[in-house]
Chains A and B, each alone.
Chain A
Amino acid sequence: MSTDGPSQGANSAPSGGSAAAKPQAWGDHASNDGPPRGANSAPAGGSAAAKPQARGNDASAGPMPTPRSYLDDGFSLWSWFSSVDHKRIAILYAVSITLFFFTGGVAATLIRLELITPAGDFVSAETYNKLFTMHGVIMVWFFLIPSIPSTFGNFLVPLMIGARDLAFPKLNLLSWYLYIAGGLFTVGALIAGGVDTGWTFYTPFSTMFSNTHVIAAVTGVFVVGFSSILTGLNFIVTIHKMRAPGMTWFRLPLFIWAMYATSIIFVLATPVLAITLFLLAIERFAGVGVFDPALGGDPLLFQHLFWFYSHPAVYVMILPAMGVASEIITCYARKDIFAYRSMAFAVLAIAIIGFLVWGHHMFVSGQSIYAGMVFSILTFLVAIPSAIKVFNWTATLYKGSIHFDAPMLYLLGFVGLFTIGGMTGLFLASLALDVHLHDTYFVIAHFHYIMVGGSVMAFLGAVHFWWPKITGRMYSDRWARFAAIIVFVGFNLTFFPQFLLGYLGMPRRYHEYPPEFQVLNVLSSAGASVLAVGYLLPLFYLFWSLKYGPRAGSNPWRATGLEWQTPSPPPVENFAAIPVVTAPPYQYSAMEIAPQPPRSRSAPAPRERGEGPGEGIPGKDAV
């Protein structure tokens, strides 16, 4: 493997052997009606040519030992807390959002325990209200919104587009500190006694009536909003200005398109939330304000401003998941994505139309019925690009060569659960039906199908897919597949009964409930315990893999993205030389059709396409 040109020096994985698989998709496979052309036998020259570098950089000084990986670039805590390397910042985020995820999860566990019996016998009403508020605030702003963008987005955006870092690395570090500062305010509010407004902070309850630490919690959310804005700004500029040569817009991986769409929402929606919460805090502090009906203000104004942010924020949670799905499904189906362009336009369409539909949260709020009708129709429009995405993922499987590794299981689960979540969203977009279902458990079930069944499944899929790249280690695929199935089963058991509860009329945020709802609530709580096991399992085998996992090659899944062309874990500078891109992404079909013979070859020739490890489960024997 050491015969690669200098530009590929980075690619020699520590383990050598078959693990250092080299993808060719970046070679010119534009036409697949014939034997693959030269690119296939000259991965280094064809797909990644050294780009003249602006400044001297010893990485390009010729063949050299494996460049220092980003993980080895300093071991002190300070070397992490002061790092402006996008990959290290991604790890900082990953650790912090995991902590917040389990904090929010503890609140959810207590909620489900309380709801096992109709009577409010486990925690008091005040405690229950604080629990669901903390669950909502933490899960929405400190887990779901930053989850994929801040971890995988940070890690992968520069790698996928062939850049050395994000455009503004210091801003990136600042945004992590803002996230932590916001988190401290919120955790402070939690320790000081909690907040009981619900994550929606509706006025006038939050301004004039709640006796809890609303201002501290709101400040936390305000601050974390700026973290989102800076991340979005960084991604937009990076994707526009830092793409590798040849990386045209329609050669971008769909994950990048998803990040771009997400960033648009970050940048254009979050400031409205910030100013709204600012108004809320002042109004609570001073007792005067435009949301207070006592002076002729309007509480619905708050709801309009809040949902102008918070509805697009839902798409912040799901768009990155869609990006992950496009990466993973193509890779394990070994097939090009179906209708790449419409997939790219669909994420943009979702991001933009997503801004036009916020009023569907307010059909029974007392807004004008004309507003209701306008928002209802617009909401149906946003269903179309979402439906396109689901259909295209399904079509991608057609005539593929499907492997069932853990990431694929998570993402197939994602497609199914997102479909259910999306379709039930249409129930809620229907005006008259929403009048019945609004603020019942039907809504709870619907958005958990989108956010947990969708975003969290995709997040876990992404963890398993890019884990070898991020850590350089393989985990136990057997355990991972087991966990994926547990999560899928536990999730459905938890949330499907809630659809029934909602249709029966059980309102959300209820500490106690009429006894006829008990059976379904018990089912839901039982499911939650299964789900909890599913979420805890990865902690064990993933941590285990950090120490004992076999080393992963640079490309254990034989994937096509640029991120797989650099060693695992990637070097500090990402690429020994900036790659030159010559073909669209996801050319798996060409990769599958062409080299049937090499498939069984045990010792790939130098400069020959490296073969994924043995049959079926790529990465298995990446020693």
Chain B
Amino acid sequence: MIAHPVATLRSYVLVWVALIGLLLITLGSAYVPLGPMNSAVNLAIAAIKALLVAFFFMHLRSAHYMLRIAAAAGFLWLAILIGLSLTDFAVRY
């Protein structure tokens, strides 16, 4: 029988606490006038939350590198789609 390693209950709960904390921070920061930085802060927090979910809940932290590449590829290609179309949208409007 292969023992499949599992993380502790505590670590899962801590990640959840962090997620809820970040949710409150992002909600709060939205009411602080920062100009265009509001969106940047919100998206940065969203990215952190997504990474927490991916690394801990989805076990990317201990996953085979191939799975990490597959996970990264989706986001990398999305970055290509958005980044290169911004060469048009960001300039033209």
> Is B truly associated with A?
yes
Q: A374 — nearest CB in chain B belongs to which residue? A: B87
Determine if A211 is an interface residue (Cβ-Cβ < 8 Å): no
With both beta carbons as reference points, the residue of chain B lying nearest to A355 in the complex is identified as: B80
Interface of B: prevailing SS: helix
Residues of B within 8 A of A264 (CB): 73
Give the residues in chain A near B92, CB-CB below 8 Å.
367-368, 371
When the two chains form their complex, are residues B73 and A374 in contact, meaning their CB atoms are under 8 A apart? no
What is the minimal beta-carbon distance from A329 to any residue of chain B, in angstroms?
31
How far, in Å, is A466 (CB) from chain B's closest CB?
Answer: 30
CB atoms of A368 and B81 under 8 A apart: no
A304:B91 contact, CB within 8 angstroms:
no
Residues of A near B80 (CB, < 8 A) are 355-356
User: Is B77 on the interface with A (CB-CB < 8 A)?
Assistant: yes
* A370 in contact (CB, < 8 A): yes
How many A residues touch B, CB cutoff 8 Å?
Answer: 21
CB-CB under 8 A from A355, the residues of chain B are 77, 80
Whether the Cβ atoms of A300 and B88 lie closer than 8 Å is yes
A375 to B85, CA, bound (A): 10
Cross-chain contact of A268 among B73, B84, B85, B88 (Cβ < 8 A): B73
Chain A 298-310, CB-CB to B under 8 Å as 1, else 0, gives 1011001100100
Contact with B along A348-377 (1 / 0, CB 8 A): 000000011011001000011011001100
Q: Which residues of A in the span 309-361 have a Cβ within 8 Å of any Cβ on B?
A: 355-356, 358-359
Cα distance A301–B89 when bound, in Å?
A: 9
B77–A359 touching, CB < 8 Å = no
User: B34-76, CB under 8 A of A: which get 1 and which 0?
Assistant: 0000000000000000000000000000000010000001100
CA distance A478 to B36 in the complex (A): 71
Contact across chains for B81 and A371 when beta carbons are under 8 A apart? no
Determine whether the beta carbon of A304 is less than 8 Å from that of B85: yes
Cβ–Cβ contact A304 & B73, under 8 A: no
Instruction: Write the chain A residue with the least CB distance to B86.
Output: A371
A333 → B minimal CB distance (Å): 35
Q: Is A240 an interface residue (CB 8 A)?
A: yes
The answer to whether B81 and A308 touch across the interface, beta carbons within 8 angstroms, is yes
CB distance from A315 to the nearest CB of B (A): 14
Of all chain A residues, the one with the shortest Cβ separation from B93 is A298
Closest Cβ–Cβ distance, residue A513 to chain B (whole Å):
32
| A359 x B88 contact (CB < 8 A) | yes
Please measure, in the bound complex, the distance between the C-alpha atom of A371 and the C-alpha atom of B93, giving whole angstroms. 13
Chain B residues within an 8 Å CB radius of A356: 80, 84
Q: Which residues of A contact B73 (CB under 8 A)?
A: 264, 268
B83 to chain A, nearest CB (A): 9
User: What distance in Å separates the Cβ of A373 from its nearest Cβ neighbour in chain B?
Assistant: 9
Shortest A360–chain B CB gap in Å is 11
CA distance A375 to B88 in the complex (A): 10
Assess the B87–A368 pair: CB atoms within 8 A.
yes
Contact residues in A for B66 (Cβ distance below 8 Å): 240
> A272 contacts the other chain (Cβ, under 8 Å)?
yes
Contact between chains at A304 and B88 (CB < 8 Å): yes
Chain A residues with CB below 8 A from B74, complex form: 268
B91 pairs with A374, CB closer than 8 A: no
In the docked arrangement, what's the CA distance between A305 and B81, Å?
Answer: 8
Complex-state Cα separation, A268 to B71, whole angstroms? 12
Contacts of A358 in B (CB 8 A): 84
Report Cα–Cα, A58/B78, bound state, in Å: 48
- Give the CA-CA distance A371 to B91 in the complex, in Å: 9
CA gap between A240 and B88 in the complex, in Å: 37
CB neighbours of A371 from chain B (8 A):
84, 87-88, 91-92
Counting chain A CB atoms within 10 Å of each CB, the highest count among B74, B81, B84, B88 belongs to: B88
A-B contact pairs, 21 of them (CB 8 A): A240-B66, A264-B73, A268-B73, A268-B74, A272-B81, A298-B89, A301-B89, A304-B88, A308-B81, A355-B77, A355-B80, A359-B84, A359-B87, A362-B88, A367-B88, A371-B84, A371-B87, A371-B91, A374-B84, A375-B84, A375-B87
A residues contacting B by CB (< 8 A) are: 240, 264, 268, 272, 298, 300-301, 304-305, 308, 355-356, 358-359, 362, 367-368, 370-371, 374-375
The 3 closest A-B pairs by CB, nearest first: A371-B88, A368-B91, A371-B87
